[in-house]
Amino acid sequence: MATLQVRDVRLAFGDRDILDGVSFTLTSQSRTALCGANGSGKSTLLKVISGEIKPDSIDITKTRGMTIAYLPQSDIVLGSDTAYREVEKGFSRSEELIEEKDAIGEKLQHTSEGDRTEGMLERIRQIEEELLSSGYYNRTMKIGQVMAGLGFEPSDADRPCAEFSGGWQMRIALARTLVEHADLMLLDEPTNYLDIEALTWLKNYLKVYKGGLLLVSHDQGFLDDTVNEVFELFAGKLKRYAGNYTQYKAQREMEIKELEAKAKAQAELVGKTEQFIERFRYKATKSKQVQSRIKQLDKLEEIQVPGHLKQLEFSFPPAPHSGNDVMKVDHLTKHYGDIDVFDDLSFFIHKGDRLAVTGRNGAGKSTLLRMLVGKETEYQGTITLGAGVVIGYYAQEAETTLDPKNTVLEELSTVATTSDLPKLRTYLGSFLFQGDDVFKSVSVLSGGERSRLALLKILLHPVNLLVLDEPTNHLDINAKQMLMEALKQYDGTMVFVSHDTYFISHVANRILYLNHGQAPQFFEGDWEYFSYKLNEKEKYEELQDSGKPEKEEKAGALSYKEANKLRNRIISLQRQCQDKQDEAARLEETIKALEAEMEKPAVYSDPKRITEVMRSKTKAEADKEAAEDAWFSLQEELEGLKAQAGA
């Protein structure tokens, strides 16, 4: 078991101690989360461990040959290679081992009888074991599997990295880090830019990963599923807690209650002591006692309460009254050129619904929200608002609506009611604007700060239909928790886009799942079933290395590019076939339910109702036949490609 021991790390920026005597141990079996407030030094510590930053002092020991892979949160710089070639760089250590093995083999060819070769032969055996465990001989399939899991299409493999957006370049860097197969992975916010499918796949990948993990993330559900210990970084010190993030939080909340009580008692003591000093400072008869109390205050260490776990509170203004039918979407159809975004989508939104819209990036989630609020009008079908509906809409580009000349506090005041004015600084604190941050000009805020301020403005305005596009972006775990609790108490209706599984599971009572080229699926109040289906769809199985070197070019065989495309296409077809089977089975259940409905006297005796049910049954039968036809076509292609690949 590979082990990394880090002792007494110290790093200061100016007069601030970022890391103050930090010590810990990680192994190739660790599953560790690194948490703390924004700016506490989490990313800095990862950079120190990886060698990106040189600290003021450090004592570090690791097992000989231990490998460490590091994924930074930002500032990823990719070369001019294709996506496949960039990910393949994760096997650079294996290529160095191949060169070493070849060099030893060359030496062995020139040895004479009687020369001692045991050491060289043993080293070749060790190299072979390392190559097998790293998956080097199966690297083409491994890379295809990882890229497909992170959402890349087979055709993306040969595209230059420069053609991808920043979010997709981060996925390329993540894929490269994953295939390194290091003894210890340091991942700084790896779930940023991932949709719910890629995030679920990554979670399943890390569960079976044969190496250690130190992870920074603001996704509580992801942390709960992947770690079994938490390192908290606070005021430059590091403390370990056993258990996942939820268990850590429960332990820490108990400690914080004790700290708050001690801090209150300390504040009272300081207040009384300062009053005594001020009262008797100039009385000669009391000078000894005054000096004693001054020294007492000087020696007193201030009790600090970690701000990132304080219980934040926020409540919505009462929602204006609306009818029970908040919105009706009827036969919605949307195309971008030859791409079908939606095809005959119909559904109701009723008062009190919390509809989560989730799925693959690019499947039309944000487009749907823009249609619902009237920002997107180029579509077929109808969207009808109910009586008295007042919409509050938060888009990912909502920060462009802010006035750059205002301060943060002034900007929030423009939407606040009179009763809210005394609480504005508390609200801003809940959204991570602390202390003098509220007096900053909007013009100097970062993109994330602007997004948080724009979201808070939307939430303070009295509405009865909230439409939110990724509301938890740029929020830390505690701020997400605060928003989640407020939304659970909100007495209006909500439609929101999110990839945060913990947030969705605690807020939504309906889920609309969108995927490319497939009919939208509704999951009515059943997060567990949706989560099960998603985990089945995005499960990860470790490839078994054959031990046989891959040949990039050989007579009568596919090139590595062709083989990569073929294997990626097979993986994609297998997933599509399973999806079509699931869709057909679901439609079969729908048809049975409709047939049972038709047999009810109250239905077949009502001409209008029986007509509606029969129309629904006819559509379900047509959809089932289409799904089965699609499955048959996909299966034929899959069998042909498997034969071509020799599977």
Two structure tokens written together for 438: 């509220």
Any domain includes 532:
no
User: What Cα–Cα distance (Å) separates residue 622 from each residue in 153, 262, 430, 563?
Assistant: 29, 69, 51, 37
Residue 82: its pLDDT value, please?
Answer: 92
The values of phi and psi at residue 356, to 5°, are: -95, 130
Arithmetic mean of pLDDT, 600-629: 85
The answer to whether residues 44 and 159 belong to one domain is: yes
Kind and range of the H or E run holding 472: none
The answer to whether residues 517 and 602 belong to one domain is: no
Q: Is the dihedral of CA 487, 420, 370, 388 positive or negative?
A: positive
Q: How far apart are CA 183 and CA 588, in angstroms?
A: 48
**303, pLDDT greater than 50:** yes
More confident residue, 313 or 238: 238
The answer to whether residues 235 and 354 belong to one domain is: no
CA–chain centroid gap for 426, Å, is: 27
The answer to whether residues 351 and 244 belong to one domain is: no
The pLDDT tens digits for 490-512 are: 889 999 999 888 899 889 989 99
Q: How many CA atoms, within 13 angstroms, populate the side-chain half-sphere of residue 503? A: 29
Domain boundary among 526, 542, 568: 526
The pLDDT tens digits for 148-200 are: 999 998 889 999 998 888 889 999 999 999 998 899 999 999 998 898 999 99
More confident residue, 20 or 451: 20
The answer to whether residues 50 and 190 belong to one domain is: yes
Any domain includes 546:
no
User: What Cα–Cα distance (Å) separates residue 183 from each residue in 26, 213, 214?
Assistant: 10, 9, 11
The answer to whether residues 502 and 373 belong to one domain is: yes
The pLDDT tens digits for 387-423 are: 999 998 988 776 677 888 889 888 888 887 777 777 7
Residue 545: its pLDDT value, please?
Answer: 55
Do the Cβ atoms of 244 and 61 come closer than 8 Å?
no
Residue 556: its pLDDT value, please?
Answer: 40
pTM of the model: 0.71
The answer to whether residues 284 and 244 belong to one domain is: no
State percent of the chain over pLDDT 70: 92
Q: How many CA atoms, within 13 angstroms, populate the side-chain half-sphere of residue 589? A: 5
- Angle ∠(297,303,305) on CA atoms, nearest 5: 155
Any domain includes 481:
yes
Two structure tokens written together for 20: 């103050």
Residue 461: its pLDDT value, please?
Answer: 82
Residue 79: its pLDDT value, please?
Answer: 76
Pick from 52, 122, 140: which is nearest to 552 by CA? 140
The pairing of strands 339-350 and 68-71 is unpaired
Determine the structural domain holding residue 623 and report its residue range.
556-645
CATH number at residue 61: 3.40.50.300
User: Strand 212-216's sheet: what is its strand order?
Assistant: 68-71, 184-188, 212-216, 31-35, 229-234, 237-242
Residue 114: its pLDDT value, please?
Answer: 61
The answer to whether residues 95 and 231 belong to one domain is: yes
Q: For tokens 């990910």, what's the residue?
A: 87
Q: How far apart are CA 371 and CA 332, in angstroms?
A: 10
Do the Cβ atoms of 594 and 613 come closer than 8 Å?
yes
Per-residue confidence band for 350, with pLDDT thresholds at 50, 70 and 90: very high
Range with lowest mean pLDDT among 281-290, 553-562, 624-633: 553-562
Q: In a 3-state reduction of DSSP, which class is residue 234?
A: strand
Q: How far apart are CA 559 and CA 335, in angstroms?
A: 37
Any domain includes 318:
no
The answer to whether residues 492 and 400 belong to one domain is: yes
Q: How far apart are CA 369 and CA 358, in angstroms?
A: 11
Residue 627 burial by Cβ neighbours in a 10 Å radius (0-12, 13-18, 19+) = buried
The answer to whether residues 142 and 272 belong to one domain is: no
Q: How far apart are CA 576 and CA 205, in angstroms?
A: 20
* DSSP class per residue in 306-339: -GGGS-----PPPPPP--SEEEEEEEEEEEETTE
**24, pLDDT greater than 60:** yes
Give the count of domains, the chain.
Answer: 4
Residue 36: its pLDDT value, please?
Answer: 87
Residue 566: its pLDDT value, please?
Answer: 66
H helices present in 397-446, as ranges:
408-413, 424-430
Any domain includes 536:
no
Do the Cβ atoms of 82 and 158 come closer than 8 Å?
yes
Any domain includes 454:
yes
Domain boundary among 279, 309, 339: 309
Beta strands in 189-324 (DSSP E): 212-216, 229-234, 237-242
More confident residue, 108 or 402: 402
Any domain includes 319:
no
More confident residue, 599 or 355: 355
Report the chain's mean pLDDT, rounded to a whole number: 84
The answer to whether residues 238 and 259 belong to one domain is: no
Kind and range of the H or E run holding 235: none
CATH number at residue 613: 1.10.287
Contacts for 633 with CB less than 8 Å, ≥ 6 apart: none
More confident residue, 458 or 447: 458
The answer to whether residues 197 and 91 belong to one domain is: yes
* DSSP class per residue in 67-86: -EEEE-SS-----SSBHHHH
The pLDDT tens digits for 542-585 are: 655 555 555 444 334 444 456 556 666 777 777 788 888 888 88
Arithmetic mean of pLDDT, 427-456: 82
The pLDDT tens digits for 44-82 are: 999 999 999 999 999 999 998 899 999 998 878 787 889
Domain boundary among 221, 248, 275: 248
User: Strand 339-350's sheet: what is its strand order?
Assistant: 339-350, 325-336, 380-385
Any domain includes 164:
yes
